[in-house]
């Protein structure tokens, strides 16, 4: 994939820094058409010198800092701050379906969550994803994920499973 991207960059006279090149694959989740679309969009908006930040802003990917901050709030166990975090997240306009994917990756990689908890949280993420596909409200689904992630990972009290 990166050889194809390099080829396009050469043909179009684009200058992609190494960080951007190495991340383009993961941002586009291995989908070449998506990668090319991002590249073209970034070139249109930001000119021929493209950085990772430019690519992220034209993709739907949510910056890692945002994901990490979100996860930290989830773990904190304070409902009101979790609710506020979800509210702000929606106000920023980030796509929740994309976010669930990134949250999933972050949770799988986390060292401080047990395997069993990871499995349960993943199940919850899957359910929320399905609900979103059905057109459910993004705020409510994210809040549900966030609050149950919290209570699952601290095992205070399980929300009834349906």
Partner 1 sequence: MLWVDKYRPKTLDQITVHEDVAQNLKKLVTEQDCPHLLFYGPPGAGKKTLIMALLRQMFGNSAEKVKVENRTWKVDAGSRSIDIELTTLASANHIEMSPSDAGFQDRYVVQEIIKEMAKNRPIDTKGKKGFKVLLLNEVDKLSREAQHSLRRTMEKYSAYCRLILCCNSSSRVIEAIRSRCLNVRINAPNEEQIVRALDFISKKEDLQLPSGFAARIAEKSNRNLRRAILSLETCRVQQYPFSSKQTIPPMDWEEYISEIASDIMKEQSPKRLFQVRGKLYELLINCIPPEIILKRLLYELLKKLDAELKLEVCHWAAYYEHRMRLGQKAIFHLEAFVAKFMSVYKAFLIATFG
Looking at residues 7 to 26 of the shown chain, list those that interact with partner 1 (rule: CB under 8 A).
none
Q: Which of the stretches 11-19, 92-100, 101-109, 115-123 binds partner 1 when contact is defined by CB under 8 A?
A: 92-100
What is 8-19 written as a DSSP string? Answer: HHHHHT-EE-HH
Residue from 16, 52, 55, 59 touching partner 1 (CB under 8 A): that is 59
Q: How many residues line the site for partner 1 (CB under 8 A)?
A: 44
| Distance of closest approach, residue 111 Cβ to partner 1, in angstroms | 25
CB of 72: closest distance to partner 1 in angstroms? 18
Which residues have C-beta within 8 Å of that of residue 48, sequence separation ≥ 6? 12, 13, 14, 15
32 secondary structure, DSSP code = H
Alpha carbons within 13 A on the beta-carbon side of 157:
1
Q: Check residue 159 for interaction with partner 1 (CB under 8 A).
A: yes
- DSSP per-residue codes, 65-117: HHHHHHHHHHHH--HHHHHHHHHHHHHTT--HHHHHHHHHHHHHH-SSS-HHH
Q: Which is nearer to partner 1, 69 or 90 (CB)?
A: 90
Q: How far is the CB of 48 from partner 1 (least distance, A)?
A: 12
Given the rule CB under 8 A, which of 18-26, 36-44, 66-74, 113-121 is the region that contacts partner 1?
A: 36-44
- The three-state secondary structure class of 50 is strand
- Residue 148 sits in the site that holds partner 1 (CB under 8 A): yes
Using DSSP, state whether 49 is helix, strand or coil: strand
Closest CA to 110 of 63, 75, 151: 75
Give yes or no for a contact between 129 and 100, defined as CB atoms under 8 angstroms apart: yes
Answer for which of 25, 60, 75, 104 binds partner 1 (CB under 8 A) is 60
User: Which residues of this chain interact with partner 1, rule CB under 8 A?
Assistant: 31, 33-34, 37, 40-41, 44-46, 58-60, 79, 83, 87, 90-98, 131-132, 134-141, 143-144, 147-148, 150-151, 157, 159-160, 162
């Amino acid at each position: 994939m990166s050889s194809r991207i390099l080829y396009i960059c050469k043909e179009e006279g684009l200058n992609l820094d190494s960080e951007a090149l190495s991340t383009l694959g993961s941002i586009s989740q291995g989908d070449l058409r998506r990668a090319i679309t991002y590249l073209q969009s970034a070139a249109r908006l930001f000119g021929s010198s493209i950085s990772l930040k430019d690519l992220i802003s034209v993709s739907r990917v949510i910056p890692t800092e945002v994901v990490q901050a979100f996860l930290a709030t989830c773990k904190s166990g304070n409902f009101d701050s979790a609710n506020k975090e979800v509210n702000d997240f929606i106000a920023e306009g980030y796509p929740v379906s994309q976010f669930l994917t990134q949250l999933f990756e972050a949770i799988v990689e986390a060292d401080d969550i047990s395997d069993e908890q990871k499995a349960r949280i993943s199940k919850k993420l899957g359910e929320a994803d399905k609900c979103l596909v059905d057109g459910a409200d993004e705020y409510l689904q994210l809040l549900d994920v966030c609050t149950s992630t919290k209570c699952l990972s601290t095992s205070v009290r399980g929300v009834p499973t349906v």
